[in-house]
Amino acid sequence: MAISTVQRPGRARHAAPRAGVRGNPWWILAAVSVGVIMVGLDASVVAIANPRIAIDLDATLSDLQWITDAYLLTLAALLIFGGKLGDMFGRKRAFFVGVVGFAVTSVAIGLIGTVGGVIVMRALQGVFGALLMPSTLAIIRSVFPVHKLNTAIGIWGAATGVSVAAGPILGGVLVEHLNWESVFYINVPIAVVAVLIGAAAVTESRSDAEHRLDVAGILTLSGSLFLFVYGLIKAPEWGWLDPQTVAFLMGGAVLMGAFIIVERTTADPLLPLRLFGNRSLSIGAAVVTVNFFALFGALFFMTLFLQNLQGWSPVETGVRTLPLSLAMMVLAPLSGVITERFGPRPAMVLGLLGVAGALALLSGLRADSGYGAIWPA
């Protein structure tokens, strides 16, 4: 099943630099970088707020996992789809809809007052994030010449990385001095800045190519990810061999198989599977998946451990996660240098060994473990 549209030609891929704000690549970069900060921030800031959310909304551990994962699930499942919508209907339009929708759902999270409502709004937040994030990269690629593109993408990446790293610290300050809702309300002024700069600077662009929305691919991929995540979250409660757990995990596997079949047969696939014929890309994707699976899992439980068992305040908890943020900021450029000199394999091997060692250290924590047993990990 597919919906076909043919777009009229857009403006030139790389417009000549302009002295004013409208169409100026650097002002455009500022707008999209501010917008993408929200997406990175909300991936990590909620970890600090989770213990207070549990108290205020009487949320279970499973509920807290869904508050974290509903956002990441819809963001991941719809990211490619969001990029295609921007190519078809205009990247500036996709950017503004994403920014405004993200801010509105952020306010709704703080006002809704129920666990179920928070989970639904977090999922919608991920939908708008999936519309916002790919449009920012596409806009950057459409306005920067090739010789400046890497610099621009580096600045965009730095904005994303810093927002993820700063999330626990900022979240701790807001939760301790205001309330947990404020970690979501903070997106509103960020969105206002992004919209104001974007309205003044960003020009519309879209792809000239014919596009078809791979609806079957979207449904099978989203359904597969949902069943997998739901099964993994409920498995500790139900039991790993419980028929319900097995049914969800098997259902996810079946839908993933259906997704692969759809992508092999459709003319304009959501995710071209031929890309995975590149061994380096396949290994890199697997490494990133495993790494972030471990990172967000560790961060989720670490904040609960530090606040609920160790008795630290939200700010103190945020400060105690600072070694993780600093390590990411320092080692990311170093990884680039290692990759440039020796290729990607040494950096990936060293990174995975480091993650495995850190998880091994964390697995030995007990309720009375001091911070000295935590920070090296």
Are 359 and 235 within one domain? no
Nearest to 143 by CA among 208, 210, 201, 85: 201
Tokens of 156: 């965009």
Are 109 and 171 within one domain? yes
Are 107 and 235 within one domain? no
Does 4 reside within a domain?
no
Are 158 and 232 within one domain? no
* Domain that includes residue 334, residue range: 275-377
pLDDT at 177 over 80: yes
Over residues 64-92, mean pLDDT: 84
User: Between residues 249 and 298, which one has the greater pLDDT?
Assistant: 249
- 77 near 225, Cβ under 8 Å? yes
Over residues 325-334, mean pLDDT: 69
For CA atoms 80, 27, 36, 326, the dihedral sign is positive
Over residues 54-75, mean pLDDT: 85
pLDDT at 109: 93
Does 140 reside within a domain?
yes
Does 177 reside within a domain?
yes
pLDDT at 18: 55
- Measured CA to CA, the distance from residue 231 to residue 259 in angstroms comes to 19
Does 82 reside within a domain?
yes
Are 256 and 297 within one domain? no
Nearest to 10 by CA among 202, 205, 142: 205
Least confident range from 131-140, 166-175, 250-259, 284-293: namely 284-293
pLDDT band at 189 (very low <50, low <70, confident <90, very high): very high
Are 174 and 62 within one domain? yes
Are 120 and 51 within one domain? yes
Are 166 and 30 within one domain? yes
Tokens of 158: 């730095």
Percent above pLDDT 70 for the chain: 88
pLDDT band at 329 (very low <50, low <70, confident <90, very high): low
Are 328 and 373 within one domain? yes
Q: Please state the pTM of the whole predicted model.
A: 0.73
Are 36 and 64 within one domain? yes
